[in-house]
Structure 1
Amino acid sequence: MSAEKLVSQEQVSRLLPLPLRTALTALRRELPAAAPELYLVGGTLRDLLLGREVHDIDLCVPRAAVAFARALAERAGAAFVCLDEGEDVARVVLPAGPEVDIAAFRGATVTIEQDLQLRDFTLNALALDLAAFLDGDTDRALACIDPCGAQADIAARVIRPTHEHAFAADPLRMLRAYRLAATLDCGLAPETRALVRRDFSLIVRSAGERVASELNALLLSSHASSAIQCMAEDGLLFAVIPELALGRDVSQPRAFHHLNVLEHNLEALKQAELLVARPGAFFPDCAPPLQDWLAAADAVLVLKWAALLHDVGKPAARQERQGRLTFYQHEQAGVQLVRELAQRLRWSTRHSERVCRLVALHMRPYQLLHAARSSGGLSLRACIRAVQAVDEDLPGLLLLCQADTLAGRGERRPADLEAQVAWIADRLLQVRAERVMPVQTAPPLLTGHDLMDRLGLQPGPLFKKILGAVALARMEGGIATRREALALAREMAAAANREGGA
């Protein structure tokens, strides 16, 4: 057992809020049998040694963790949450401060050293005995309990399982390895990757929600693309997202692409990651609205999922026509695959719809560019339609399009394509700000009640068509008053009536 690393009393004092220290000290005095030993463990201690900000506190007791947590919550005036009574794990939520998770020794272990040896990775297999600290012995530093060589691996920034069967015991640990590599900026030990290659098929045992949680945390890191690349090399990526595996051997026309479909999806994720960090680098004239969008909840996650999956439908849509490879309607094929993935990973409806919308529309900016080249300009109506189609996630679509552009290199690819995407982005964001948003946020000129009361129409598909046309005409500047809106509605109702559509 190694105990060379010392943690100062001051570090522990800063980590444990005074109300928590007071409650823990009181409990140890009042209920000595309930907490003969008390340890600070796991990720809390790891992050403390790495100099990272600690968000949560992990404590460990030999037994009766749920009862101890309940007593601690009562003493500290905090909320108590039983996380898993069978595994003897509970949480204490302080009124102001970090969450405190308390667990008992694992399985049949009877010492903290035995417990640590059953944890997932060596850098999490650390403990600090809090007894001396809480009992008022403030004259000495505290030694880490380290039976697995955690401190050496923390210093080397390497992720290594505590034992050969760690992944078989809980297959989700494989995903956690890559997530920790991404979030802690660490590398995977060669034996870690070898064990993943051996055991990756076991990941199907893990619940979809747990898989999604690890993948989301990984994607939110600034090193997600390199971790995902390693997952692909080791086979784990295709065990959790088999849809991506379909693109491994699907080549693309060399005129616009230098990578196969899988490689292109992975490269698009890498470029999206760079755009998240520096959106102004490729959008010099419209970076602020992109930054605002990226700062909103879940926006980065939506963008990175969309980048990784944007061309996932190409293998299903691939056709060869007169010696040419085509992928017509691959966006729609991709949306279907993303919906299946979303169901498997138990995504929320909102998250699923946002990612699907970006995948479905990721070609729209290119289509607008093509129209602008063909006609010598870009119509206001086409811009409004595009803005309306993607709605709140227009900035995300533009970032995705640029990531897609940066991920493609081909013989006939325009050298200034990134600048062209930036131009279309500037135009669409301007239309949204000056034309679409003012109408969307203003009181409507007409409502469904007006169509019933003034025009005698009955609710149905024509309602939506008329109200949409009124809003579009208002955005284009063709109408501005209620009277003009009613006139347009009457004209459309009459036309529908003549065609037998009313």
Structure 2
Amino acid sequence: MTQVQDRAVAELLRIAPVIEELGARFTAAGEEIALVGGPVRDAMLGRLQNDLDFTTSARPEVTERLVRGWADAVWDIGRDFGTIGCRYGDWQLEITTYRSEAYDASSRKPEVSYGDSLAGDLVRRDFTVNAMALRLPGRELEDPYGGIVDLAHRVLRTPGRPEDSFSDDPLRMMRAARFASQLGFTVAPEVRAAMTDMAERITIISAERVRDELVKLICSPTPRTGLLLLVETGLAQHVLPELPALMLERDEHHRHKDVYEHTLTVLEQSIDLEHRLPGEGPDFISRFAALMHDVGKPRTRKLVGDGTVTFHHHDVVGAKITRKRMQALKFSNDEINDVSTLVELHLRFHGYGDGQWTDSAVRRYVRDAGPLLDRLHVLTRADCTTRNQRKAERLSRTYDELEERIARLSEEEELASIRPDLDGNQIMEILGIPAGRQVGEAYKFLLELRLDNGPMSYDDAKAALLEWAAAT
């Protein structure tokens, strides 16, 4: 416990200028204000970020008046929910009026009403570790539900009965899974039981809110933990049914892998390979493609005469399933296209065999992957979960060779921006035709020629174009 408190003191010293000045302003105006929820929890974990949440007795219009002239910028996009946002130096603040919110049996949006006390505000928080507050400006800790003890034991409990908490906001069930993955906490037995009993209630939550929680879970340090919890409680059946569907029956001779366990392992291995991707931080596209790469297997599973199990075309079927699920969860078109393309391409490498692809096939591999090539490298490497060390090493060497070939051809031919050797204007000039469908067909012909043969001189490309035109 002392260790938790020491970490909290060190973290709070960092934000002392912010909380002291803010506390003084609200107190002088006769209002209460407290640092609340996640920032208090994270301060005790030694992981405080630059986003600070506060709760106050002040109504939004009063809050806005009190922070204007003090904060560097103020916004009121959350006014309908009692929230005023502002920026002070490097800190992002959200200040929300004491409130309570609840869902009725069929609502997709919470009914918001203002509360009149800090105690009333804390009781509506999702978990005890998030139901702690630091009154300002005196920094008096309010912990009516034992959050600091649960934090020390790294366990998730609700302030009151979990059934009441999840009835008020069913999304809290998904947040339990997310926090388990983000923070490495266990979920109390009574909380897990309530999640199992009430799993279907998640269906009243909007797709956008479910999506946002799913993204946070998948981008957490250990998403397997939260995903297992979603499956075991039945929540996944309502938010990502493709995942539990991967638990296929094993054939009696155990001639195929456990697809569910394989998928979770591929996800973990893709996370281990994220250092290969540009940028910093977790890559949702790469991780979700790993999670969805085999979702076509249940629909394509067939037992053939000798007892062998096949999953022909599960890549194409899986891409369609992935697209449909992501559309239902309201992902952007770009995210849907990226993930479904990776799912569709994830088997392509296995046609490489012992390296017998032609340069033409390598060019097409790069062309089809486009800007997703680095992620496709990660997914393909992560998809090897064999326990046969010699086989794993052979696959790794083969993919090393393919990447080396791609790098060599890229240097020689600028593969990332493959285009025909003649552009549209040149095609029209050579053939003496106006812009139109024939130019597009000629462009496609020249692109295929470029993929097959590599770069061509102007004269060779012109001759090939004229020959093609004469034959069409």
- Provide TM-score, normalisation by structure 1: 0.82
1:484 pairs, out of 453, 460, 467, with: 460
Task: Report the alpha carbon displacement of residue 418 of structure 1 after superposing the two structures with TM.
Answer: 2.2
1:357 correspondence with 2:357: no
Alignment correspondent of 1:285: none
1:93 pairs, out of 87, 92, 110, with: 87
Query: What are the equivalent positions in structure 2 for 1:295-374 lying under 5 Å apart?
Result: 295=279, 300-323=283-306, 324-369=308-353, 372=354
Query: What are the equivalent positions in structure 2 for 1:59-78 lying under 5 Å apart?
Result: 59-78=54-73
2:309 is matched by which residue type in structure 1? L
1:12 is matched by which residue type in structure 2? L
- The question of whether the paired residues in 2 share the 8 Å contact of 1:27 and 1:72 is answered with no
- The question of whether the paired residues in 2 share the 8 Å contact of 1:313 and 1:337 is answered with yes
Task: Report the alpha carbon displacement of residue 423 of structure 1 after superposing the two structures with TM.
Answer: 2.6
- The question of whether the paired residues in 2 share the 8 Å contact of 1:40 and 1:59 is answered with yes
Alignment correspondent of 1:83: 78
1:43 correspondence with 2:26: no
Per-residue deviation, residues 423-472 of structure 1 (Å, max 9, x unmatched): 33223323333324625458863111111111235533513422313532
2:140 pairs, out of 139, 143, 154, with: 143
1:126 correspondence with 2:132: yes
CA distance in 1, matches of 2:7, 2:269: 40
What percent of counterpart residues are identical?
29
1:160 correspondence with 2:157: yes
1:455 correspondence with 2:454: no
CA distance in 2, matches of 1:305, 1:8: 35
- The question of whether the paired residues in 2 share the 8 Å contact of 1:24 and 1:72 is answered with no
Alignment correspondent of 1:178: 177
Task: Please provide the CA RMSD for this pair.
Answer: 2.7
Query: What are the equivalent positions in structure 2 for 1:206-355 lying under 5 Å apart?
Result: 206-251=205-250, 257-259=256-258, 261-276=259-274, 291-293=275-277, 295=279, 300-323=283-306, 324-355=308-339
Give the direction of change, closer, same or farther, for the CA distance of 1:250–1:491 in structure 2 (3 Å limit): farther
Count of residue pairs the alignment pairs up: 448
CA distance in 2, matches of 1:253, 1:301: 36
1:230 is matched by which residue type in structure 2? L
1:417 pairs, out of 370, 377, 391, with: 391
Task: Report the alpha carbon displacement of residue 230 of structure 1 after superposing the two structures with TM.
Answer: 2.3
Per-residue deviation, residues 338-397 of structure 1 (Å, max 9, x unmatched): 11111111111111111101110111111212xx3xxx7332222221121112222322
CA distance in 1, matches of 2:416, 2:383: 30
CA distance in 1, matches of 2:368, 2:251: 28
CA distance in 1, matches of 2:462, 2:152: 72
1:487 is matched by which residue type in structure 2? A
Task: Report the alpha carbon displacement of residue 193 of structure 1 after superposing the two structures with TM.
Answer: 1.0
Corresponding residue SS for 1:446? coil
CA distance in 1, matches of 2:301, 2:315: 12
Higher relative contact order (CA 8 A, sep 6+): 1
Alignment correspondent of 1:284: none
CA distance in 2, matches of 1:402, 1:256: 22
- The question of whether the paired residues in 1 share the 8 Å contact of 2:211 and 2:330 is answered with yes
CA distance in 2, matches of 1:233, 1:170: 20
Task: Report the alpha carbon displacement of residue 419 of structure 1 after superposing the two structures with TM.
Answer: 2.3
Task: Report the alpha carbon displacement of residue 256 of structure 1 after superposing the two structures with TM.
Answer: 6.0
Give the direction of change, closer, same or farther, for the CA distance of 1:253–1:389 in structure 2 (3 Å limit): farther
CA distance in 1, matches of 2:260, 2:6: 47
CA distance in 2, matches of 1:314, 1:70: 58
Gaps of 5+ in 1: 133-141, 277-290, 498-502
CA distance in 1, matches of 2:55, 2:444: 62
- Provide TM-score, normalisation by structure 2: 0.86
Corresponding residue SS for 1:222? coil
Give the direction of change, closer, same or farther, for the CA distance of 1:28–1:338 in structure 2 (3 Å limit): same
Give the direction of change, closer, same or farther, for the CA distance of 1:308–1:439 in structure 2 (3 Å limit): closer
CA distance in 2, matches of 1:297, 1:151: 29
Corresponding residue SS for 1:405? coil
Alignment correspondent of 1:431: 405
CA distance in 1, matches of 2:366, 2:241: 32
Corresponding residue SS for 1:76? coil
Alignment correspondent of 1:15: 15
CA distance in 2, matches of 1:11, 1:229: 33
120-129 or 50-59: bigger deviation: 50-59
Per-residue deviation, residues 37-61 of structure 1 (Å, max 9, x unmatched): 1111110111011111322111111
1:179 is matched by which residue type in structure 2? R
- The question of whether the paired residues in 2 share the 8 Å contact of 1:212 and 1:346 is answered with yes
1:446 correspondence with 2:426: no
Task: Report the alpha carbon displacement of residue 13 of structure 1 after superposing the two structures with TM.
Answer: 4.4
1:390 pairs, out of 344, 356, 369, with: 369
